[in-house]
Structures are given as C-alpha cells and as structure tokens.
A = this chain, B = another copy of it.
Amino acid sequence: MERAPTRKRENSEQRILDAAISLFATRGYAATGIRQIADKVGLTTASLYYYAQTKDELLLRVMRVGLGELLASGEEAVAASTDPREQIRGLLKVHLNFAAGNPERARVIDNEFQWLDDEDRESVIALRDAYEQLWADAITEGCRRGIFLVKNVSLTRLALLEMCNGATHWYRANGPMSLEQIVLAFEDMAFALLRTDEPLTVAPAPGAGLTVETAQSPQ
C-alpha cells in the first residue's frame, strides 16, 4: 500500500545501524548505551525499540550482514581463479577493502562477538570460520602443488589474517598510502610468508649469488 512508512523505516533503520557501528567501534558494545545511539540518530530510546527489540539484536545484525558480505566477496574471489596465488591475491584485496573500506564495522565484527548470546555467537562464528576456510583452502592447495612452502597452515593463516586486520587500526583514507599501494605491500608480505624460511636461513653473502627460491615444485 503506502510506500512512505517503508521509506522512512529503511532510512531510520540504516541510520540506527550506522550509529551503532560507529559507537560500538569506538567505545565497545558494552560501554555503548542505547541512549547514545538514539541521540546520535536523533530519536529517543523508545523509538529504537520499534526497529530492534534488544541492544544485542543491533550487534547481531551488524555482524551477520558484514560477515555475509565478506564471505560472499571471498567466495567470488576464490572462484575467479584456480591458481592459489591468484586466490590469495583476491582474498587479500577483498579483506583489505573490507577492513580499510569500513574499519569501524570491521573492528566491531572482529572484537565484539563475545556479547552475543550463545546461539547467535555460534551462527556468527560459523560465518567467520567459513570465510577463514577460504584462506586455509587456498594455502593448502598452494602447498599441495608446491607453489607455497609453509610448515604450519593454521599458523600461517592466522598470521596473515592478523596482519591484515592490523590495517583496521592504522589505515586512514587520507593517509600517505593509497589502498591500492597497501594491497600491493601486503601482497609482498603475504607471499614472503607463504614460503618457509628454511631454504633462506643461510644468510646470503652480500653481492654473492643472492639465490632466492622462486615458486617451484619440491621434486
């Protein structure tokens, strides 16, 4: 029937979620009051309850939507190539775009899921695990083919993701490095990590043959 209420609803709904993201990111979920959210949107607390029945429903929605997008983008990136190197490149781009493109939302998703109740947390962690599995699969497949050389897939995956998430702490849109430059820099670091060090542990004599292992099969 009438469209006005719907338009209005979508407006306030999104504004409430945006305000929640911003406050959850800077003050943490627990320290954020619904009064603050309401103030930021320009509504009263009572009005918030028209859109969400509890405070943690807001958090849940932020996480479900965000992780859903991340997972979808990740799956798309992985599907774009069968070459593990290209898959990692794609995942890096997706992850850094996500982390730097909306660092507040990324920080909330990263840090606040302890506040969800058991059931919700489980469903959110399932999304996160599915996403991390994309990385694990690409790394494992790269190792299987001898393109990557890592001793411990899980440790490497954690190091890579942790490294990328660091960007949510220091990335600024108007900083000295563009997002493209950052992606390139992280590609360098990621591919450095994806080769085990052992073949390199002998310090190269300067000037002498700086033989660097290129990606090659172990046989």
Contact = CB atoms under 8 A, between A and B. Distances in A.
A5 interface: no
Interface in A176-219: 176-177, 182, 185, 187-189, 191-193, 195-198, 200-201, 203-210, 212, 217-219
Interface stretch (A40-48, A56-64, A74-82, A162-170): A162-170
Contacts of A207: 203-206
Contact of A204 (B210, B217, B218): B210
Interface string A114-150: 1000000000000000000000000000000011000
Contacts of A159: 163, 166, 189
Contact of A200 (B111, B191, B208): B191
Contact of A31 (B31, B161, B172, B206): B31
B210 A200 contact: yes
A82 B192 CA distance: 25
A209 B218 CA distance: 31
A162 B166 contact: yes
Interface residues of A, number: 53
A66 interface: no
Contacts of A55: none
Given A85-B203, A161-B166, A203-B207, 18 more contacts: A26-B114, A30-B30, A30-B31, A31-B31, A155-B182, A156-B189, A158-B166, A162-B166, A170-B217, A170-B218, A189-B193, A189-B196, A189-B197, A191-B200, A197-B212, A203-B208, A204-B207, A206-B207
Which 10 A/B pairs are nearest by Cβ-Cβ distance? A175-B219, A30-B31, A162-B166, A206-B206, A206-B207, A188-B197, A200-B212, A203-B210, A176-B219, A159-B163
